[in-house]
Amino acid sequence: MSHVTIDAPVKVNLHLGIHPGRDSRGYHRADSVMVALGVGDTVTVSALPEPPVRPAPASRAESPAADASGVLLAMSEDVGVPPQKNTAWQAAARLRRAFGITTPVRVEVCKAVPPQSGLGGSSSDAASVILALCRLFSLDEKDPRIVDVARSVGADVPFFLNLAPSYLTGAGDVLAQTFPVLEGLPVVLVRPRRGVSTVAAYREFDADPVVPASPAPMLAALRDGDAMAVAAALYNNLEGAATRLVPEILRVKSWLQRRPGVVAAQVTGSGSCVFAICETHAAARAIAARAQDEEDWWSSTTFTVGKRAHFC
């Protein structure tokens, strides 16, 4: 096998409870309940030829090669950071180092969702790179070094290794419990023009911290597989910080709450995207079209999933 292509689905937070105060790493304690959706980026990882032991002759200097890190990154669009700050690059470089892989690799990311949305796009890219490398080099996905590398790249990355609806504690990076998926629940995503930086949202939260509500109602709803109870229990105490940074989020949320066919709407993660659980896929599609046509907001129609699709 010389390359692996794998999807990188986004997530929404069904419950996000951030606790005031930071730990020694500068992170907040978080109760995070996440579910993956059927939309996202696509990641392809390929093995490149091993670098020659002696310097290459001039004629071979332009063959596809990674830099000294052993990772060559190709993004479908500029996400505003140099390769070394890109989560897909970091995941590949750190996994190679952790497992002593010497074969250079090319990582290609085809972006489909806008950054700074609270959808975890960059975290999912990183997890998909890790899983693709596991397949390419026949690594055991259950090896504890895998989750360590994931966590080192970002708090949301461990969730994306598994993809089942999950309750995470710690900094939102420690898997506490998984649930059966509420397969195929219709969801519409709507994002205002401006995004929210996760770092800025947590800083804004610190300026006026809110003690979080318990995740118990959401955990019970998921245990019961009760979609209406899930919709009734949506919660996010980072929403206030996100909406102070981008007030248009509130307009998106109240617009969604007024649309026929919406059961409930909530900001995901640190925003700026708002998601709505809908009664039907047709209602979700109609709302996405209106958001795009009438308001010029980015939108996408999707559904909840519990595992990833593989391509090869």
Catalytic residues: 11, 156
Binding mask 141-180 for ligand CDM (x = CB under 6 A): -------------xxx--------------xx--------
Could you say whether residue 120 binds ligand ATP (CB under 6 A)? yes
Q: Considering CB distances under 5 to 8 angstroms, the limit depending on partner class, which of ligand CDM, ligand ATP, none binds residue 26?
A: ligand CDM
Could you say whether residue 14 binds ligand ATP (CB under 6 A)? no
CB of 156 to ligand ATP, least distance (A): 5
Could you say whether residue 79 binds ligand ATP (CB under 6 A)? yes
Q: Considering CB distances under 5 to 8 angstroms, the limit depending on partner class, which of ligand ATP, ligand CDM, none binds residue 236?
A: none
Could you say whether residue 83 binds ligand ATP (CB under 6 A)? no
Could you say whether residue 243 binds ligand CDM (CB under 6 A)? no
d(CA 123, CA 156): 6
**Integer angstrom CA distances of residue 16 from 34, 47, 139, 234:** 8, 38, 33, 9
Q: Which is nearer to ligand CDM, 30 or 134 (CB)?
A: 30
Q: Hey, what amino acid is at 10? A: V
CB 91 within 8 A of CB 157: yes
Residues 100 to 119: which contact ligand CDM by CB under 6 A?
118
Q: Which is nearer to ligand CDM, 46 or 270 (CB)?
A: 270
Tell which one of 70, 120, 121, 165 touches ligand CDM (CB under 6 A): 120
Q: List all residues 6 or more positions away from 200 whose beta carbon is below 8 Å from its beta carbon.
A: 245
Could you say whether residue 270 binds ligand CDM (CB under 6 A)? yes
Site residues, ligand ATP (CB under 6 A) = 79-81, 85-88, 109, 115-123, 125, 156, 198, 269-270
